[in-house]
């Protein structure tokens, strides 16, 4: 998969995160599943990036987002309110990954 496709998946995950922040409804839980699926696909594809630093940074962002999503899932399945800071941490992880991958596009285009 090309970096552009990875960025598309990541952008979709960020959009989905925004949707997920709007409440704890069925739609919100569906959005969370889409985020997890998008992260899994992004992780699989970032492992094909040759540049070690870019791969490491992208995967660090994915790990940060995944850990925060895990804490959200634990809250959802235990009937608790999802922690607001986990949402912020998820968003920050997605942004780290996006920034790392955008660097790949800038270098490859030049």
pLDDT tens-digit readout, 10-34: 666 665 555 555 555 667 767 777 8
Nearest 5°: CA angle at 19, between 74 and 56?
Answer: 65
In sequence order, the 6+-apart residues with CB closer than 8 A to the CB of 71 are: 83, 86
pLDDT tens readout for residues 43-98? 888 888 888 999 999 999 999 999 998 888 888 778 888 888 998 998 999 999 98
R_g of the chain computed on alpha carbons: 14
The CATH architecture to which 3-109 belongs is Up-down Bundle (1.20)
Look at residues 42, 76, 74 and name the one whose alpha carbon lies nearest to residue 58.
42
Q: What is the pLDDT of residue 106?
A: 53
Extents of the domains making up the chain? 3-109
């Amino acid at each position: 998969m090309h970096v552009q496709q990875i960025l598309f998946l990541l952008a979709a995950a960020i959009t989905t995160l925004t949707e997920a922040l709007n409440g704890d409804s069925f739609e919100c839980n569906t959005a969370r599943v889409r985020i997890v699926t998008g992260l899994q696909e992004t992780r699989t594809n970032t492992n094909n990036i040759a540049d070690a630093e870019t791969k490491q940074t992208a995967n660090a962002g994915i790990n940060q987002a995944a850990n925060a999503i895990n804490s959200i899932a634990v809250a959802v399945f235990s009937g608790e309110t999802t922690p607001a800071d986990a949402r912020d941490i998820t968003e920050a992880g997605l942004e780290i990954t996006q920034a790392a991958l955008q660097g790949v596009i800038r270098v490859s285009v030049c």
